[in-house]
Structure 1
Amino acid sequence: MSGVTLGIDPGEFVLLLGPSGSGKSTLARCFTGLVPHSVPGELKGTIKVCGRDVTETSQTELATRVGLVFQDPSLQFVTSTVATEIAFGLENLRVQPAEISERIATALDDVGLSGFETRQIDTLSGGEKQRLAVACQLAMEPDILVVDEPTANLDPQGTEAVYGLLRELARDESRTTVLIEHECESLLDAVDRTVVLDRDGRLLVEGTPQTVFAEHPEQLRREGVWIPAVTRLALKLRASGDWPDATTLPVTVNQTVDAVSDLLTEQPSERTRFDSRPAGAAEPDPSGGSTTSPALDIRGLDARYGPDEASDPVLKDVDLAVPEGSFLALVGPNGAGKSTLAKHCVGVCSPPPETVFVGGHDLTALPSREISRYVGYVFQNPEDQFLTDTVRDELAYGLRQLDFGAGEIERRVDRTLERFDLTEYADRNPFTLSHGEKRRLSVATMLVVGQDVLVVDEPTYGQDRANTDALMRTLSELHESGRTVVVLTHDMRIVAEHADTVAVLVDGEIQFHGTPADLFDDRETLSAAALSRPPLAELADHLPVFSGPATPKRCYKYCTGGRMDPISRDQNATAPDSGEERPDQAKRYPDQERRRPDYGEER
């Protein structure tokens, strides 16, 4: 961080945003005294918490003032049961046993975990673990609660549960709450102030959510900071002269509904029907209408961990055909079996014979090294797939295993380094890259071979908006060039804006396979799968005669009486939401033509 001057008032609920590496977590550690007491480095200026200078205050005393909840709650658990975990911090503060029992009961009630006292922590869901981590801090009765990306590992309903808890805590005006997130659309109406750091760790903007997002879109876009979907829609409408209020822009769905309702009242005659399909046309076929063999075909797949036949199956008679050239989103709650299914599809886990077919080949009949010719797999954690000491060698590794010639390897590696903006890091150790750079490298290592099927596990995990958008542009280009893309995700925006089909996995079984629009209309399946609808889908419910997928372009077209989104007419035109040219970040991957990317000679 550099030159940050910031004051937070008692009882405020502050949202801290910024791109990856901007210093958000470092700032959180400054609040708790981890910086400078435990984390080495140079500290200039002053940090005061509740009037106390953190450099002159012990961490023990600061622990009674500030509670910090980490992104991964498992990193801060030190005992085995819920009650003993909450008691641990209190015992270190020398709280009397009788009072400890009272505080445990109160904290669990505050987070909705009453009755969980004797539960083993390793049996809790991801959302329950996050709530327990919050309870551990609340029990110590801090004046300030700092929560660092609490929803990064959660499914949509787990996310909403944590946000609901934070909303309730925010009503207690005696406690200050600081939430660090990459985005949190559904919680903005509870936030008092939004603070944004830039890439260099400087304070970019601060103010109410409406002030920050509606008045500073250009600065946020340049830094790759998330802007709410409804605000981005309103910015486009304002740029084209279709927004009813030149100054006020929405940050929530309800605010947008009120404004758009006025807009539609002014121009009702142009919207007798809004649908991307002609009237009477058939619903889209989730199979893509393809008569060729599926790129990925799963037939009656069962899977369990361990040799014991009595153990519970992780996958149960899974049937799923993924057409060639499709973009499939595989979604479902935490623990549904998504990653297990993906690992069976790429040979990381061995499926039974004649249950998984790639490009028409039974996966079990292919030698391990040959599987990688047909399908690539990008792990959720990029570090899990790194095998060498440099970025260049990492890209070359798979090609060498497949006996490509030295000249061809060099050509493919150089082109891939350039395509993924990794040339300057060619000689760096992959483990020293930033998280966004590691994710780009993990995708690049799979694409350099040129497989026809790519399976990507949680591509947006731990990514800021800029890195997410850049990666999704790359995956969309691959899809448009004819490759088959399968993405495992909790991000419903990806499902709505990129996928042409979606499969829902619940308790190891396929519960739904169809279009994103049909899924968002199926509230029973959404509830069973712990999924939530994206904001634009919620907005579309309030738009008369709107049907089909609620994507940004279609919502814009609807609100302008069917006119074309100016961005779609000319990708090189200025962006209508800012009036400025698109930032360099939007051009991270320069090859934007709709063709099959050339990673080398055809196999």
Structure 2
Amino acid sequence: MHVENLTWRPFGRSRPVLDRLDLTVGPGERVLLAGPSGSGKSTLLRAVAGLLLTADSGELSGEVTVGGAAPQAVPGSVGLVLQDPGAGVVASTIGRDVAFGLENVQVPAPDMPTRVRAVLDEVGLTMSPQSSPATLSGGESQRLALAGALVMEPSVLLLDEPTAMLDADTAAGVRAVVAEVVARRGLTLVVVEHRLDGWLDHVDRLVVLDAAGRVVADGDPRQVLADHADSLAAQGIWVPGVPDPEPLDIALVPARGGAAGRVADGQVVAAAIDVRVEHTTRRLGEPSRSTVAVDGADLDARAGRTVALVGPSGAGKSSLMSALGGLVAPTGGTVELALPLTPAESGDHGAARDRVAPPHEWASTHLARAVAWVPQRAATSIIGRTVRDDVLTTPLALGHDREAAGRRADALLSALGLAHLAAVDPRQLSGGEQRRLAMASAVAHGPALVLADEPTVGQDRLTWAAVAGVLAAARDEGAAVVVTTHDPGVVDDADRVVGLEAPTQPSPEPEPERRPLLARVGSLALLATALCVLPLPGLLDTWRQGLAVLGVEVMLGLVGLLAPGRGRAPQGRLQGVLRRLAPAALAVLGVAWSAWLLGGRDLEVAAGAALRVLCLLVPSAVVVGFLDPEQLGDHLAQRLGLPARPVVAATAALQRVQAFDTLWAELMTTRRVRSTRADRGPVARGREAVVVTGGLLVGALGQATTLALAMDARGFAGATRRTWAGPAPWRLPDTLALTAGLLVVVAAVAARLTLP
């Protein structure tokens, strides 16, 4: 692996991230790449993988070769595992996700299962290849990402902070698996981490970049640390043996009108009593799945104190914290906030204290005044157009004085090293910078309860001290602080530590859930069935004809939703269809209104136009919940012979669309806790829906960027031809479904001939 004179300046930046970088790594070398936040470590990994221009744009010069050739010249020769392994999942099962790279290099389908099972065993994933990636813990997700890279038999393995989000035991397990696989296969390894100590026994070379993206130290790890320990620590690198930094001493400008300090020091600000939180996922065509995140937990947060929630991945730390702050409704138990923080339900404050609603029912303004939230995915917390605007959003929404709020915002940005970025679009910040921005925006209005979910992930020593300092400052002005963390420094600074264990999951239902008839139909047939109705607008003239055809569609749709056989009845079938039709109602009403105005205000004309649109939309609303994007891609490529690249790109996008409900929920939670949620009024809520939809699209673009990197890292960039791991059969239910779609067209023709 050879890097020569590499320079990279992203568009919009005045200075390069990497500046004339030279680096050579010999075959079989194991390199630990370190440097302060923003030094270009992740950028260098993308360059070595040949992916720097996949999702980013900028000025690139210099040369990168692997084995004497360009990185992408031999697909799969370089394996890259990204910071967030879950963001790079490309399939609905772990087996198919691992097989994705094999498909890109045209491995025959019969050979794939053996190779997939072998690499899953190699990384320690023993569950069925048919398991969903959504069920994996953080450590298991890292192992899955590692398997996806290793199955292509690379010569170079690149790991970008693979243990940053893991607890100590899980991180040690991941490191042990990496070391074993690298030694067995003789791979060249380059791993990026902020904290060096866990990797020192697994590498033979340490390369350090400075803030300008230049190599400032290179050699035997322990010798480099012995020679440069003080200077490396001063740059922000976590040097083993150097004491952790103290939280930065930050004097916050008082927040006029803030809730911090309303509860006396040491008194309970929020309490969760015997709380249970369940997460239920339900998609049409699949059995519903409930997961217990928290079961019977008690937690209280006190003014002027910090509580650290610790425990393994999947222990329910984030879920318990969210329930405590009213961000989610607990399935069981109670959550209470101190009386001085509760909203008045009437003009009589005394009466309000006798009848207090739980915080998850509070209006946005009331919740935001008391509670602040720093989410794990900091990108979902962005609201403002600039960094400074984002920090000021909540104080101004709550009616704080603009001048005083501005002074507090500027002090926070300065302390967190973001002052020079105050006028920048926050979506252009790095992940670590966005996390620090989320911290500034959370405490800008002086909340009484600060909830921070892994706030120090991805921070170097200097930025860590700043984040820890802001948390300490919020505590010192009277807030109760609750932090979920795997960071020993944060734990040491906490006043109280609460350990959680993963709750026991309920036993599977004794009876399986019955499958609706439409769930037994292949995705290509479902798509064709929905497309059968496209001729309807040209066939229907009157509202009577439209009503007759709509009746046929509803009848066939109800038949398709039936779930005959033994087992539990599936839930949410009809409700799901109605939810999907709800947005379409606006389009139907708009068409009816336009037709009424332009058609001489004739109600029959308006009704006919509305019914034509509804006849187009109903079949899609019925079948879309049963479409499996992965299966659809298999059918489009194998049965219709469509080009591989657009098919895979489209099905990957559809996979992400199915996760939009989760992203939407995160964005709405952000607006609620930032006092920008529209709690009342159809006009305000409609306006908000437009705004959140824009945020949803921005978030989707960010996810698409990461997904493109993950796909191209596994050979997709050059996969003009590929094989397919999944079959694409055409069965009797497919023929019956297509026949039903054609029956709708026949009904339209008959209605046109027989009804006026």
Task: Give, in whole Å, the separation in 2 of the partners of 1:324 and 1:363.
Answer: 21
Q: Residue 183 of structure 1: CA displacement?
A: 1.6
Residue 340 of structure 1 pairs with residue 319 of structure 2: yes
**Pick aligned residue for 1:27 from 40, 44, 55:** 44
Residue 302 of structure 1 pairs with residue 314 of structure 2: no
**Pick aligned residue for 2:474 from 464, 473, 478:** 478
**1:153 corresponding residue in structure 2:** 165
Q: 1:218 to 1:346 in 2, by over 3 A?
A: same
**Pick aligned residue for 1:456 from 442, 452, 456:** 452
Superposed CA RMSD in Å reads: 3.1
Task: Give, in whole Å, the separation in 2 of the partners of 1:174 and 1:311.
Answer: 43
Task: Give, in whole Å, the separation in 2 of the partners of 1:77 and 1:307.
Answer: 18
**1:89 corresponding residue in structure 2:** 101
Q: Residue 403 of structure 1: CA displacement?
A: 2.2
Contact conserved, 2:446 with 2:474, CA < 8 A, in 1?
no
Q: 1:369 to 1:351 in 2, by over 3 A?
A: farther
**Pick aligned residue for 1:14 from 28, 31, 39:** 31
Task: Give, in whole Å, the separation in 2 of the partners of 1:102 and 1:351.
Answer: 44
Alignment length (residue pairs): 447
Letter in 1 for 2:496: T
**Structure 1: gaps of 5 or more residues:** 236-289, 510-603
**CA offsets, 1:285-313, max 9 Å, x none?**
xxxxx996312222222333459999454
Q: Residue 435 of structure 1: CA displacement?
A: 3.1
**CA offsets, 1:410-466, max 9 Å, x none?**
444444444444443333322223333322322222222122332211111232332
**1:3 corresponding residue in structure 2:** 20
Residue 447 of structure 1 pairs with residue 443 of structure 2: yes
Q: Residue 96 of structure 1: CA displacement?
A: 4.0
Residue 364 of structure 1 pairs with residue 352 of structure 2: no
Contact conserved, 1:33 with 1:62, CA < 8 A, in 2?
no
**1:376 corresponding residue in structure 2:** 372
Task: Give, in whole Å, the separation in 1 of the partners of 2:333 and 2:268.
Answer: 14
Q: Residue 227 of structure 1: CA displacement?
A: 0.8
**CA offsets, 1:362-391, max 9 Å, x none?**
562754412333332222222222222123
Taking only the aligned residue pairs, the percentage that are identical comes to 37
Q: 1:162 to 1:363 in 2, by over 3 A?
A: farther
Q: Residue 192 of structure 1: CA displacement?
A: 0.5
Task: Give, in whole Å, the separation in 2 of the partners of 1:409 and 1:227.
Answer: 37
**Structure 2: gaps of 5 or more residues:** 1-17, 246-263, 283-287, 343-355, 505-756
Task: Give, in whole Å, the separation in 2 of the partners of 1:355 and 1:91.
Answer: 50
SS of the residue aligned with 2:437?
A: helix
**2:121 corresponding residue in structure 1:** 109
SS of the residue aligned with 1:506?
A: coil
Task: Give, in whole Å, the separation in 2 of the partners of 1:81 and 1:4.
Answer: 40
**CA offsets, 1:129-180, max 9 Å, x none?**
2212222222222111111222233333321221111121232363211111
**CA offsets, 1:208-259, max 9 Å, x none?**
121122210233123211112xx21599xxxxxxxxxxxxxxxxxxxxxxxx
Q: 1:369 to 1:508 in 2, by over 3 A?
A: farther
After TM superposition, list the pairs within 5 Å mapping 1:493-512 onto structure 2. 493-495=489-491, 497-507=492-502
SS of the residue aligned with 1:43?
A: strand
Residue 434 of structure 1 pairs with residue 451 of structure 2: no
**Pick aligned residue for 1:50 from 60, 67, 70:** 67
Residue 325 of structure 1 pairs with residue 335 of structure 2: no
Contact conserved, 1:327 with 1:499, CA < 8 A, in 2?
yes
**Pick aligned residue for 2:242 from 221, 232, 235:** 232
Task: Give, in whole Å, the separation in 1 of the partners of 2:297 and 2:121.
Answer: 40
Q: 1:350 to 1:113 in 2, by over 3 A?
A: closer
Bigger mean CA offset, 450-459 vs 363-372: 363-372
Q: 1:171 to 1:477 in 2, by over 3 A?
A: same
Task: Give, in whole Å, the separation in 1 of the partners of 2:426 and 2:20.
Answer: 31
Bigger mean CA offset, 72-81 vs 353-362: 353-362
TM-score by length of 1: 0.67
SS of the residue aligned with 2:63?
A: coil
TM-score by length of 2: 0.54
**CA offsets, 1:295-337, max 9 Å, x none?**
2222222333459999454332322223332221011222222
**1:213 corresponding residue in structure 2:** 225
Residue 79 of structure 1 pairs with residue 75 of structure 2: no
Q: Residue 352 of structure 1: CA displacement?
A: 7.9
**CA offsets, 1:571-593, max 9 Å, x none?**
xxxxxxxxxxxxxxxxxxxxxxx
Contact conserved, 2:276 with 2:333, CA < 8 A, in 1?
no
Instruction: Report the structure, 1 or 2, having the larger helix content.
Output: 2
**CA offsets, 1:463-484, max 9 Å, x none?**
2332222211222243345432
Task: Give, in whole Å, the separation in 2 of the partners of 1:311 and 1:234.
Answer: 41
After TM superposition, list the pairs within 5 Å mapping 1:27-426 onto structure 2. 27-35=44-52, 40-52=57-69, 54=70, 59=72, 61-97=73-109, 99-114=111-126, 116-172=128-184, 174-228=186-240, 231-232=241-242, 293-305=267-279, 311-351=290-330, 355-360=334-339, 361=342, 364=358, 367-426=363-422
Letter in 1 for 2:501: V
Contact conserved, 1:167 with 1:187, CA < 8 A, in 2?
no
Letter in 2 for 1:42: E
Q: 1:411 to 1:121 in 2, by over 3 A?
A: closer
**2:725 corresponding residue in structure 1:** none
Q: 1:27 to 1:471 in 2, by over 3 A?
A: same
Q: Residue 199 of structure 1: CA displacement?
A: 1.2
Residue 492 of structure 1 pairs with residue 471 of structure 2: no
